[in-house]
Amino acid sequence: QVQLVESGGGLVQAGGSLRLSCAASGRTFSSGAMGWFRQAPGKEREFVAAIRWITSNRYADYRDSVKGRFTISRDNAKNTVYLQMNSLKPEDTAVYYCAASFATYTRVPIRAQDFGSWGLGTQVTVSS
C-alpha cells in the first residue's frame, strides 16, 4: 500500500504559477506511473497529466488544455512527483488529486481507473 500526500496548492492570480508536489510513502518502486487529476465544483474528475517511468526512462502525457503550460516530473530519490503549472487560468481552478499505479503499462495511463492509490487532494484557485 502506498500513501500519497499532495502539497503546493493555493490561491494565485491568472497568469501566475504554482508547483504541486506528491510524495509517495510506504513503498518505493523503480517503475510505475503517477498522475494528476482535478475536479471542479459540479464537474467530473478529469485527467490532467501523468508520467510513467521504467528506471531512468520517463514518458509523460497531458490533457490538451494544459499542454505547453503544465509540466509533470518525477524525482526518484525523493519518490515524489511534481506538477509545475504556469500561465494559470481561472478554468484551472479545482481540487487536484495525485494518483499512483504499480501496474505495468506500455503506454502512459490516463484513466482514473488505471490508478489504485489516491491522495486527498489540494485546492488550486486561480483568480481573474
Q: How confident is the model at residue 104 (pLDDT cuts 50, 70, 90)?
A: confident
**Tell me, what's the pLDDT at 100?**
95
Residues 8-61: pLDDT tens digits? Answer: 999 999 999 999 999 998 777 778 999 999 999 999 999 999 999 988 889 999
Asked if residue 110 has pLDDT above 90, the reply is yes
The grid coordinates of residue 4 equal: 500519497
How crowded is the C-beta side of 26, counted as CA atoms within 13 Å?
9
Percent of the chain with pLDDT over 90: 81
**Tell me, what's the pLDDT at 1?**
74
